[in-house]
Amino acid sequence: MAKIRHLRWGLLSTARINRALIEPLRASKNSILSAVASRSLDKAVEFAKEWEIPRYHSSYEALLADPEIEVIYNSLPNSMHAEWSIKAMQSGKHVLCEKPLTTSIKELDEVISVARNTGMVITEAFMYRHHRQTLLVKQMVDQGDIGNLQLIRGSFCYTNTRSNDVRFDPALGGGCLWDVGCYPISFARYITGKEPLEVYGHQVTGPTGVDLLYAGQLVFPGGVISQFECSFITPFKALMEITGDKGRIIISEPYKPGIKTKLIIERDGQTQTISIRGAKLYHGEVEDLENAILHGKPPQISHEDSRANIAAIEALHKSVSLLKPISLPVI
């Protein structure tokens, strides 16, 4: 029996989202959570103690210099994703980076270039993309269960009451488009299997300058139209609704499906509920990266995929600045 190789992970930051990764790393046969880093020694010690992580570092550089670590989970604020993912890869570490991989196409292209030059694996942590529900919806659409695709509606709204949240800081890549709008956009792109030709939207801008609410429209090749809304200042709503000329799929837990979830398909005047059992939400992205590193399997979220999502969001921001629809290059 071949010896199992363990990937030793280091958490770059003590962000809340880390907690989502700890359980799947513990559950995995191929991964070990080895270290955590914070710019504050106290925070690093406290986090390591609370979560029983063997090693801690009081700087991000120290974590990247730790020879035992092979994989970095980059959960820094959005604007720091590119810089530290690049540094991690240049230090010989693979990277699972929180979405968005970067906050601009320019940075993304640098990240891709460094990945190519170093041979390191880097992929974006869009956990919903690994869940069985997402794969099933894609399969249903592709096999024609709802006929010809026409409309995709997405919503991801919540009320963010944490006033010091990095999400309100424009310098840190804040705003609801980057934080939650990225999901319905990613979902629509995944389902169409195509990239938007044009995007346009409107936002409510907060006192710090970030988009607190954004409602947008994406036009895909073949005339498929996607409308979405995302918000920090609206009561919670998460929904994807995918409509074809023969039916409609309604997904009430599209972005954070549980191990048991349900979706609805309407067709021929009938409404059917489909129960789905999936893996725990964040397990998929850990397994996906393990397979990429250990077995050379292409990650579920390719660089091109991340790039197109970021391009769409960048263009949606641009449409608000320029007060007009933005055309995107046909990819």
Binding mask 292-331 for a copy of itself (x = CB under 8 A): --------------------------------xx------
- Using CB under 8 A as the binding criterion, the count of chain residues that bind a copy of itself stands at 31
Q: Using CB under 8 A, pick the residue from 223, 260, 277, 331 that binds a copy of itself.
A: 223
**Residue 103, interface with a copy of itself (CB under 8 A)?**
no
Question: What is the residue type of 9?
Answer: W
Determine which residue in the list 77, 175, 247, 257 makes contact with a copy of itself, applying CB under 8 A.
Answer: 247
Rounded to whole angstroms, the Cα distance separating 327 from 219 reads 10
Residue 217 within binding range of a copy of itself, rule CB under 8 A: yes
* Residue 314 to residues 61, 80, 209, Cα–Cα distance (Å): 29, 17, 16
User: CA-to-CA distance for 85 and 126, rounded, in angstroms?
Assistant: 16
Q: Does 219 bind a copy of itself (CB under 8 A)?
A: yes
Based on CB atoms, which residue is closest to a copy of itself, 83 or 198? 198
271 in contact with a copy of itself (CB under 8 A): no
Rounded to whole angstroms, how far apart are CA atoms 9 and 48?
A: 13
Distance, in Å, from the CA atom of 213 to the CA atom of 282, rounded to the nearest integer, reads 27
Q: Shortest CA distance to 82 belongs to which of 160, 90, 205, 206?
A: 90
The sign of the CA dihedral 22, 23, 24, 30 is: positive
| CA 14/CA 120 separation, integer angstroms | 23
x/- contact string, 147-176, with a copy of itself (CB under 8 A)? ---xx-x---x-x-----------------
Residue 231 binds to a copy of itself (criterion: CB under 8 A)? yes
* Footprint on this chain of a copy of itself (rule: CB under 8 A): 150-151, 153, 157, 159, 200-202, 204, 213, 215, 217, 219, 223, 225, 227, 229, 231, 233-235, 237, 243, 245-248, 266-267, 324-325
